[in-house]
Amino acid sequence: MLIEEVTEGATPIFGRRGGKTVRKYRCTSGTRKGRIVAKPTTCTAPRNVRASQKMKATRKAKSSSQAPKTKVTKRSNPASRRLASINTGKRKIKRKRSSRRKKI
């Protein structure tokens, strides 16, 4: 099996595990499109319906208390701040430079 076959449905990014920066993958296709996973093969793996139903209920119950905690972590944790700059640096936005000189 080639590496291209495995990473076909995922793009490499950086994520956090504890306080350390690790390589992760963002799924670009499959049942987990848009999700960040540890292994690219997870993107096309079959879903566990029971686990997904339970997670939906947990997210609904805990979202209001979890949002402020997440916000504090993203602002104060140095690893989170590094990741934000690393991952946005990978996606370079091309901007058209406008000329400062006015043409007569």
Domains held by the chain: number: 1
- The pLDDT tens digits for 43-93 are 999 999 999 999 999 999 998 898 899 889 888 888 888 888 888 876 655
pTM summary value: 0.64
Tell me, yes or no, whether 101 lies in a domain. Answer: no
Contacts of 83 (CB under 8 A, 6+ apart): 14, 15, 16, 21
What is the spatial distance between Cα 48 and Cα 6, in angstroms, rounded to a whole number?
Answer: 21
Please check whether residue 29 lies inside any domain of the structure: yes
Structural domain contains residue 43: yes
How far is it, in rounded angstroms, from Cα 65 to Cα 20?
Answer: 25
Assess if residue 102 is contained within a domain: no
Residue 9 belongs to domain spanning: 1-48
